């Protein structure tokens, strides 16, 4: 589904990502772990096209997408939930959700939200007319994920969806993502720090100083890897 190979990314002259290789197979959930500042967000931004790699390839569905804009990548089926959520505070929950439709290949005229969204995130149904900015952090995160789903993605990039969120909501978000992967065939690339959530993925990659330094099935996550790469 997604293959990243030999990716090198710079911010100006600082070399951030080094020879990154990573793949996300169809229908699987892959987790990227690593301490603060190692380059996890930089990798997701490069995959969605907000940053251009200096070298390396990004292949989605067998096609090299390096030269495509973020908007084109969204229409190809890559959904992105940035770190810090970035919902629009002055729009209502419903308006925020409908914005997600812009990522679809064909513009659909829709004013209703599909019921499946509320099955995944029941709390949103009660809050459709509330302003996005008035939701709690956990609710905003659910809204951000729901908005990405409105675009019908085949691959979902999630950047630390549980950062700064209270434990009970973390479990709800975990369960929703698990259900999405199980029931829809959507592939997920997740950046995450919570071990419980990381274990829900099929496969992990660990990043250090912009390079992938360990990877494997999450069933084989050792205590040593956990201590080195997760802030638990």
Ligand X SMILES: Nc1ncnc2c1ncn2[C@@H]1O[C@H](COP(=O)(O)OP(=O)(O)OP(=O)(O)O)[C@@H](O)[C@H]1O
Interface with ligand X in residues 77-96 (CB under 6 A): 83
Q: How many residues bind ligand X (CB under 6 A)?
A: 12
Give the integer Cα–Cα distance in Å for 134 and 152: 26
Residues in Cβ contact with 133 at an 8 Å cutoff, skipping those fewer than 6 apart: 87, 89, 90
Nearer to ligand X, 12 or 62 (CB): 12
The sign of the CA dihedral 22, 25, 26, 27 is negative
Per CB under 6 A, the list member of 16, 117, 127, 190 interacting with ligand X is: 16
The stretch near ligand X (CB under 6 A) out of 34-42, 53-61, 68-76, 175-183 is: 34-42
β-strand pairing of 211-217 with 55-60:
unpaired
Q: Pick the binder of ligand X from 24, 41, 198, 204 (CB under 6 A).
A: 41
**Distance (Å, whole) CA 232 – CA 228:** 10
Of these, 4, 22, 31, 40, which contacts ligand X (CB under 6 A)? 40
Q: DSSP class of residue 107? A: -
Q: Is 32 in the site for ligand X (CB under 6 A)?
A: no
Rounded to whole angstroms, the Cα distance separating 198 from 191 reads 9
- Contact residues toward Mg ion (CB under 5 A) are 40-41, 83
SS3 32: strand
> Which residue lies nearer to ligand X by CB, 40 or 194?
40
The nearer residue to ligand X, 113 or 173, going by C-beta atoms, is: 173
Residues in contact with ligand X by CB under 6 A are 11, 14, 16, 34, 36-42, 83
């Amino acid at each position: 589904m997604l293959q990243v190979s030999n990716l090198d990314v710079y911010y100006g002259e600082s070399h951030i990502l080094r020879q990154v290789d990573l793949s996300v197979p169809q229908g699987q959930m892959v987790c990227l772990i690593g301490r603060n500042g190692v380059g996890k967000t930089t990798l997701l931004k490069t995959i969605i096209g907000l940053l251009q790699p200096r070298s390396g390839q990004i292949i989605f569905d067998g096609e090299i997408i390096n030269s495509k804009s973020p908007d084109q990548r969204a229409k190809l089926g890559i959904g992105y939930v940035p770190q810090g959520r970035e919902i629009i505070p002055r729009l209502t929950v419903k308006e925020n959700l409908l914005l997600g439709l812009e990522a679809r290949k064909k513009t659909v005229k829709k004013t209703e939200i599909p019921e499946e969204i509320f099955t995944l995130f029941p709390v949103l149904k009660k809050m459709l007319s509330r302003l996005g900015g008035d939701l709690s952090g956990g609710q905003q995160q659910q809204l951000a994920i729901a908005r990405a789903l409105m675009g019908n993605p085949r691959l979902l990039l999630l950047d630390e969806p549980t950062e700064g969120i209270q434990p009970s909501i973390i479990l709800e978000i975990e369960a929703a993502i698990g259900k999405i992967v199980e029931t829809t065939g959507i592939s997920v690339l997740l950046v995450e720090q919570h071990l419980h959530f990381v274990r829900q993925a099929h496969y992990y990659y660990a990043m250090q100083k912009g390079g992938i330094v360990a990877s494997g099935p999450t069933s084989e996550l050792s205590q040593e890897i956990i201590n080195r790469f997760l802030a638990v």
